[in-house]
Amino acid sequence: MREVIDGVFELSLGFVNVHLVVTDDGVVLVDTGLPRRSKQIEKALLGIRKSIGEVRSILLTHHHFDHTGNVADLRTRSGARVFAHAADAPVISGATRPETTRPLVKLVSRFMAAEPTKIDQVISVDGSEPLPGFTALHTPGHTRGHVSYLLDRADGLLFAGDAAAGRKGGVSSAPRAAAVDLAELDRSVAKLASYDFEHAVFGHGRAVSGGAVEKFRGYAATLS
């Protein structure tokens, strides 16, 4: 685990990242990683002198199992409120099955799935503020209800989720084989590039510290 900016930590759980944000009101988790990794998240919390009980909120970027794998367990153990977009919430709660036409996603979903859980607050308004200091940006394409979050700290930090990925200090494509709509995903990248932020973290790949929006704009230009 490493500290990206003051109070924001990146925890790598295999090929996917979980982010821990220390706020005045407790800890916010952005995504929860692959299933059966709660103990690793708890250990990371202890490493920054926090506990599961101090997790107050869980912001989900989208419904894929590698991002929602521990949300049910963590919600039960911490009492945290879970936030997700209205378009993905029924999948996370188990009310509907994931939408996908991608063979790879169908194959993996047969062998690994996240335990369903209740969504405490549905995000339905683009640009809304689910928590103080966080802005929710609807960035569909990877899933219909994918959300990226902007944190108002250290000149802006973007939680890109799987709208993009970090690679060699820059910004590149998230796993396109898992996306439901590639054209929409590319529009979402262009949307993110229109904002101002100094840092960016991703569901997959290393964080970009400093000059992140310029690297986003460079990547977006390759998609047009």
Contact 44, 1 (CB under 8 A): yes
Distance of alpha carbon 39 from alpha carbon 68, whole angstroms? 15
From first to last of the 224 residues of the chain, give the pLDDT tens digit.
999 999 999 999 999 999 999 999 999 999 999 999 999 999 999 999 999 999 999 999 999 999 999 999 999 999 999 999 999 999 999 999 886 655 555 555 555 789 999 999 999 999 999 999 999 999 999 999 999 999 999 999 999 999 999 998 899 998 888 899 999 999 999 999 999 999 999 999 999 999 999 999 999 999 97
Verdict on whether the full-model pTM lies above 0.85: yes
Q: How far apart are CA 186 and CA 142, in angstroms?
A: 10
Task: Tell me which architecture the domain covering 2-108+118-160 has in CATH.
Answer: 4-Layer Sandwich (3.60)
Residue pair 130/108 in contact by the 8 Å Cβ criterion: no
Listed by start position, the domains of the chain span: 2-108+118-160
